[in-house]
């Protein structure tokens, strides 16, 4: 499946107000035949669009937890594991 699961896609949009498909990894999608979440692209998005900085906020996980709560952390961890 080259699209993310609908449930994850909808939850991602609801929490982060951006489409999950923006963080796809085409090479891995071609290799695996399924949607692949690119955590590095999401990290870069957080830097550029949300003002995330390791120096200011610590880890990406800490930043997400502070800004979006445990639900945001849980979703990113699930995506990183399942996609």
User: Tell me: the pLDDT tens digits for 3-55?
Assistant: 888 999 999 999 999 999 999 999 999 998 999 999 999 999 999 999 999 99
Instruction: Tell me how long the chain is.
Output: 83
| Three-class SS state of 24 | strand
Output the pLDDT for position 5. 87
| Three-class SS state of 35 | coil
Residue 2 has pLDDT above 90, yes or no: no
- Please give the angle made by the CA atoms of 38, 44 and 47, to the nearest 5 degrees: 145
Output the pLDDT for position 3. 85
Output the pLDDT for position 63. 97
Q: Which residues contact 75 (CB under 8 A, 6 or more apart)?
A: 8, 11, 12, 15
Q: What mean pLDDT comes out for the span 45-73?
A: 96
Residue 1 has pLDDT above 70, yes or no: no
Which one, of 40, 6, 46, lies nearest residue 24 by Cα?
A: 40
């Amino acid at each position: 499946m080259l699209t993310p699961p609908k449930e994850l896609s909808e939850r991602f949009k609801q929490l982060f107000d951006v489409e999950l498909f923006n963080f796809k990894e085409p090479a891995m999608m071609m290799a695996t035949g399924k949607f692949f979440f690119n955590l590095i692209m999401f990290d870069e998005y957080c830097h550029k669009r949300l003002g995330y900085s390791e120096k200011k906020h610590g880890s990406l996980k800490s930043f997400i937890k502070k800004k979006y709560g445990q639900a945001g952390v849980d979703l990113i961890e699930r995506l990183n594991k399942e996609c």
